[in-house]
Each structure stands twice: as structure tokens, then as C-alpha cells.
Amino acid sequence: MTKGTLFIISAPSGTGKSSLIRAFLKKKIINNIEVSVSHTTRSVRPGEINGKDYYFVSIKKFKIMIKKNKFIEYAKVFNHYYGTSYTSINNKLISGKDVFLDIDWQGAKQIKKKNINSKSIFLLPPSKKELLSRLKKRNQDSNFIISKRMKMVKTEISRFYQYDYIIVNDDFDASLLDIKYIILSQRLSIEHQKKHNINLIQNLLNK
């Protein structure tokens, strides 16, 4: 069985990456793809479900998992830890499923150094003004936290060069299609097809 591809999606907070991933899966735009559920030490936000949106754990448990090398990547963002379980990701990829991974540039950089079949997408907001508006409309953070997030935008966007694709999320439905085409492009690539259809290719080449 051909292993799946890890599709990393990063963006400044408020750009819409989580909303895009949820909508993509809900609408079943492409089959055989799931989202990785990360571990985090931050508090649960309204509407979030443990085990579905994140695995919410204590700082103590998170640090124990770090010592046991349980994470394929982890990072500290706004005083909270976020990490991706190696076992969870690997089991999905080995089964042939593609996987969405919603992480920041620090985690993406760590994964790029590992021997993992991955493609990375960086989402850009149409403007700083629109990004600020989206953060306020979420009603999830205090003005202080929103201010901190906006100050981080320049640092995050300056890392765009380490990604394979860039999508400007100014039109939600158009961004969903862009993600769809990126996934289809990877599935049809010679890199993927020479493994996925190796038996067919060999049969066609045999006399």
C-alpha cells in the first residue's frame, strides 16, 4: 500500500486555517484524508472537544511526553505547548491516508528535517486590517492577546519561504479549491504514482 502524504498547513492566528480544514473534511471535498489531532497545554475554548479538536493535557504530562520522544514536532506558542504525536501520524500515513496537520512554522521546520513524505501550505490573510477583524470576530481572546497575536504576524509571515505553496485566504470557497488542487497534484505526481501504480506500470512494460 502506498503511504499517504502529510499536508502541513500554517498561518498567522485568525487567517482561517482551522476553519478551512474543518470545512474541507465536512464537505468531503476529497476522500481518504483526515486531520491530525495535536496535544496542547492551553485551555479548552468554547465549542472545542477533547480528542477531536485537541488532546488537552497538563504541562507536566506534555513534558513527560517530550522526554519520551513521543512527539514528531512540538513548539511553545504564546506560553502554551503544542505537539504532534509520532504514533498517531505514522499509523494514518502507513494505512494510506493523507493527513492534514495544523501547526506553526516552528513545527513545520522540524518536520522538514525528518524523513516524512510531506507538502506544506502557508495561508496569508488578505490584509492586516482583515486579520485583526477576524481575530476580534472570533470572540476567543482578550484585547491583550489579540495585540500579541498581531505583533507575531511579521515573524510568522517572514517564514513563508520554507513552504511549498502559498494561498491567500481572501475567498473561503476559492481557498478550499486551492487546497483540493494541491492534494490532487500530489496524488498525481510521478513521485506518488510510481509507487501507487507500480504493478500496473510493470505489467504494461512486460512483453
Would you list the domain boundaries of the chain?
Answer: 6-36+98-205
Residues of the chain with pLDDT under 70: 207
Three-state DSSP class for 206?
coil
Residue 155 marked as a ligand binder: no
Residue 15 marked as a ligand binder: yes
pTM over 0.85: yes
- Domain 6-36+98-205, architecture per CATH: 3-Layer(aba) Sandwich (3.40)
Residue 51 marked as a ligand binder: no
pLDDT for position 19: 93
pLDDT for position 191: 86
Q: Tell me how far apart the terminal alpha carbons of the chain are, to the nearest angstrom.
A: 25
Q: Mind listing the pLDDT tens digit for each residue in 51-78?
A: 988 999 999 999 999 999 999 999 888 8
Cα–Cα dist 141/198, whole Å: 50
Residue 11 marked as a ligand binder: yes
pLDDT for position 147: 87
Residue 12 marked as a ligand binder: yes
Question: Reading across the β-sheet that carries 71-77, which strands appear in turn?
Answer: 54-56, 38-40, 80-85, 71-77
Residue 125 marked as a ligand binder: no
Non-local CB neighbours of 198 within 8 Å, separated by 6+ positions: none
Residue 83 marked as a ligand binder: no
